[in-house]
Amino acid sequence: MGDLLLAELCREAGLPDGVFNVVPGGSDPGTALSAHDDVDALTFTGSVATGQAVMESAAQTITPVTLELGGKNPAIVMPDADLDEAAFWIGTGIFTNAGQICSATDRALVHESVYDEVVDRLVDRAEATDLGLGVDDPDMGPLNHEAHYESVLEYIDVGRESEATLATGGEPLEGDGYFVEPTIFTDVDPQSRLAQEEIFGPVLTVIPFADREEAIEIANDVDFGLTGGVFSSDVKQALSMARRIEAGNVYVNEWFGGSVETPFGGMKASGIGREKGLEALDSYLQTKTITVNLDERK
């Protein structure tokens, strides 16, 4: 319904017919577009499985694709970080839009020397989060639909059955809308499903590490590579670590940084190409070379 409303607003604003189109339906419209000979470029944002299907279909017509396919994004908290700021930004990154953002802070990797302090701050942040409908301007709203709601609850059950500790949340809320409490699991195994798979909900996994090398290893040891972050008062150290994180966007002492001018996109299973910035235009352009011989043959 949101897309249809946007189309209606575009029409009311005077946008010419055909510039912005919404085609309702399940997978059929997308399949028809991705396989059509007259489509010169495709851009898709969504799941890895659907992105793979789009890419396979586009291969039949040699159509270039831009894919933005989600992430399992690490926020590394070094022992010299401002812990209040780190907890604020991590909480913002995972609970904004109920975690239904591909660049959310899915994983907090916290140095063991400040682990308990950071967990306490994150739990306080989660428990202070006000839930409600969007018209009430709450801190966090509901999940998008029932099937996704059930999926998030299944992941929470997976966490309960693992050796991880449920620090707060984990319960559905009654009432209108698919609400799930802001949820934090601590002492999570980096190889567990909680730490490896994209949940796309308000579920944060907190993982301890001993030193910088271990933090980088854990950060990169997933299939995704969309965003990441480093929290440290030593900017030189933070930038050095940021360069080693396998992600298209890395934030230092913040989350959701950048603007429409800064390219956005992922590495590995997080996608191909970039959105925003001048680099985004590359997806819609092809270089053409014309040479002319101006010399007459003798």
CB atoms within 10 A of CB 272: 18
Ranges in the chain annotated CATH 3.40.605.10 = 2-69+261-284
* pLDDT tens for the chain, residues 1 to 298: 678 899 999 999 999 998 898 888 877 888 888 889 899 999 999 889 999 999 999 999 999 999 999 999 999 999 999 999 999 999 999 999 999 999 999 999 999 999 999 999 999 999 999 999 888 889 999 999 999 999 999 999 999 999 999 999 999 988 789 999 999 999 999 999 999 999 999 999 999 999 999 999 999 999 999 999 999 999 999 999 999 999 999 999 999 998 899 999 999 999 999 999 999 998 899 999 999 999 887 6
pLDDT of residue 1: 62
The burial of 165, by beta-carbon neighbours within 10 Å (0-12 exposed, 13-18 middle, 19 or more buried), is given as middle
Terminal-residue alpha carbon distance, the chain: 70
pTM across the whole model:
0.92
Any idea which fold 74-252 has? Answer: Aldehyde Dehydrogenase; Chain A, domain 2 (3.40.309)
Question: Exposed e or buried b for every residue in 123-138, given b needs 16+ CB within 10 A?
Answer: bebbeebebeeeeeee
pLDDT of residue 245: 98
Q: Which of 68, 181, 198, 246 is catalytic?
A: 68
pLDDT of residue 175: 78
Phi/psi at 20 (5° precision): -125, 125
Tokens matching residue 84: 């209040």
Three-class SS state of 298: coil
Homologous superfamily, domain 2-69+261-284: Aldehyde Dehydrogenase; Chain A, domain 1 (3.40.605.10)
The burial of 175, by beta-carbon neighbours within 10 Å (0-12 exposed, 13-18 middle, 19 or more buried), is given as exposed
pLDDT of residue 25: 80
- Asked whether the beta carbons of 78 and 117 are under 8 A apart, the reply is no
Write the CB contacts of 48 (distance below 8 Å, at least 6 apart in sequence).
69, 70, 223, 269
- Residue 168 is classified by DSSP as E
Specify the pairing of strand 183-186 against strand 165-168. Answer: antiparallel
- Asked whether the beta carbons of 224 and 73 are under 8 A apart, the reply is yes
Following DSSP, what letter does each residue of 21-76 receive, concatenated? ----SSSHHHHHHHT-TT---EEEES-HHHHHHHHHHHHTTT--EEEE-----EEE
Determine whether 246 is an active site residue.
no
pLDDT of residue 298: 67
Ranges in the chain annotated CATH 3.40.309.10 = 74-252
